[in-house]
Amino acid sequence: MKQWKTGLVALIAGVGMAGVAQSAELDMHFQPLDKYRDLGRTVTEREDIQKALSAHFERLAAERLPAGQTLRIDLLEINRAGEMDFRRRLPDEIRVLREITWPQLEFSYVLLEGGRELRSGKASLSDMNYLHGSSARYNDGDPLRYEKPMIDKWFDTEFGRKAR
């Protein structure tokens, strides 16, 4: 009887573990946050943008890359869409979007599996047409709503489209 209970517990634990999906990992690195062209003006804003950018890359890696792989991203430069209107003072500053202030993102990446490099490169992303609808799937309050579609497109090109 004791062996039967032990076997049943092991079976239940095994079934429970089968439902836990493993996913790829993200290893994201930043320079000192004040070194970027346009990560944000205040320390708090730069930290918030850093967290949001990391979370977006992490979500994409988890959704699109096989378990056991690690995507290392080294953010080299970011120039967010638009530019700040500095005629106003904090907290009333606004970001002004114009045709000539498109978002740009530059990073290097390495895809690893078991410590072995599968692929690497440098990406320079920009979207000169950012004002014409590419951000429609992101909330208007999202501070990276113009940068995220560029990252999504890069993931599609580099690693394949997300299964729907």
Per-residue pLDDT tens over the stretch 71-128? 999 999 998 877 766 666 656 667 656 777 778 999 999 999 999 999 999 999 988 8
- Classify 98 as helix, strand or coil: coil
Q: Is residue 89 situated within a structural domain? A: yes
pLDDT over threshold 50, residue 14: no
Q: Quick check: is 87 in a domain?
A: yes
Q: Which domain holds residue 104?
A: 22-158
Residues 6+ apart with CB under 8 A from 9: none
């930290």: which residue's tokens?
Answer: 47
In a domain, 16, yes or no: no
Is residue 82 assigned to a domain?
yes
Which of the given ranges, 88-92, 135-139, 148-152, has the highest pLDDT on average?
Answer: 148-152
Give the chain's mean pLDDT: 81
Number of domains in the chain: 1
Q: Residue 84: CB partners within 8 Å, gap ≥ 6?
A: 41, 93, 94, 95, 96
31 within some domain? yes
Evaluate whether residue 76 is within a structural domain. yes
* In-domain check, residue 47: yes
pLDDT interval class at 9 (50, 70, 90): very low
**Is 50 part of a structural domain of the chain?**
yes
